[in-house]
Amino acid sequence: MSSERRLPRSRRRATVVSTAVGAAVVIGCTVLLIPRGSTQTAADLPANSAIGDGSGAPGASATGTASAGASASASSSASASASASASASASGSATPTSTAAFSGPPKLSIGSSQNVAGTLQPTWPNQGQAEIDLDGSVIKSYGPVSSSQPIASVTKTMTAYLILHDHPLSPGQQGPTITLTAADVTAYKYDVSENMSSVPVKAGEQLTESEALQALMLASADNIADVLAHWDTGTTTDAAFVSKMNSEASALGMSHTHYADASGYDPDSVSTAPDQITLAQHAMGLGYFAQLVDEGSAKIPVAGTISNYNSLLGYDGVNGIKTGSTGQAGGCLLFHADFTVNGRTLTLSGAVLGQDAPTGQELGVGLAAAKTAISSTESQVTARTLIPAGTAVATAPLADGTTATLHTTANLTVTAWPGETVTLRLNTSGTTHTLKAYASDGTLLGSTTLG
Do 400 and 369 belong together in one domain? no
Rounded distance between C-alpha atoms, residue 348 and residue 133, angstroms? 6
Q: Please count the structural domains in the chain.
A: 3
Do 356 and 392 belong together in one domain? no
User: Residue 14 CA to chain centroid, in angstroms?
Assistant: 61
Given the residues 83, 89, 141, 220, select the one marked as catalytic. 220
Supply the DSSP string of 364-424, one letter for each residue.
Answer: HHHHHHHHHHHHHHHTT-EEEEEE-TT-EEEEEEBTTS-EEEEEBSS-EEEEE-TT-EEEE
Do 81 and 217 belong together in one domain? no
Mean pLDDT per 10-residue interval, the chain, length 451 residues = 38 39 42 41 32 33 34 35 34 44 91 96 96 90 97 98 98 98 98 97 98 98 98 96 98 98 98 98 98 98 98 98 98 98 97 97 98 97 97 96 96 97 94 96 96 93
DSSP secondary structure letter of residue 156: H
Let me know: does 404 contact 98? Beta carbons within 8 Å.
no
Domain final residue pick, 330, 350, 379:
379
In a domain, 1, yes or no: no
In a domain, 144, yes or no: yes
Domain coverage including residue 343 = 129-379
| Neighbour count for residue 112 (Cβ, 10 Å) | 10
Q: Could you give the C-alpha distances from 167 to 174, 181, 233, 276, in angstroms and in order?
A: 11, 21, 12, 22
Do 412 and 429 belong together in one domain? yes
Residue 214: burial class (beta carbons within 10 Å; 0-12, 13-18, 19+): buried
Residue 59's pLDDT is 35
pTM here is 0.77
Asked, as a colleague might, if the bond just before 224 is cis with ω within 30 of 0, I would say no
Do 238 and 361 belong together in one domain? yes
Q: Could you give the C-alpha distances from 60 to 67, 111, 395, 407, in angstroms and in order?
A: 10, 31, 19, 20
Given the residues 85, 141, 156, 198, select the one marked as catalytic. 156
Residue 100's pLDDT is 55
140 assigned ligand-binding residue: no
Given the residues 67, 153, 197, 198, select the one marked as catalytic. 153
With a CB cutoff of 8 Å and minimum separation 6, the contacts of 75 are 19
Do 281 and 423 belong together in one domain? no
In a domain, 123, yes or no: no
Do 303 and 327 belong together in one domain? yes
In a domain, 97, yes or no: no
User: Residue 287 CA to chain centroid, in angstroms?
Assistant: 23
CATH, residue 141:
3.40.710.10
Q: Is 156 considered catalytic here? A: yes
In a domain, 100, yes or no: no
Do 329 and 184 belong together in one domain? yes
**Angle ∠(137,139,143) on CA atoms, nearest 5:** 130
Let me know: does 201 contact 223? Beta carbons within 8 Å.
yes
Residue 136's pLDDT is 84
DSSP H stretches of helix in 144-217: 156-166, 182-193, 209-217
Sign of the CA dihedral 414, 415, 417, 421?
Answer: negative
Do 141 and 243 belong together in one domain? yes
Q: What share of the chain is helix, strand, coil (3-state, %, to 5)?
A: 30, 30, 40
Do 77 and 180 belong together in one domain? no
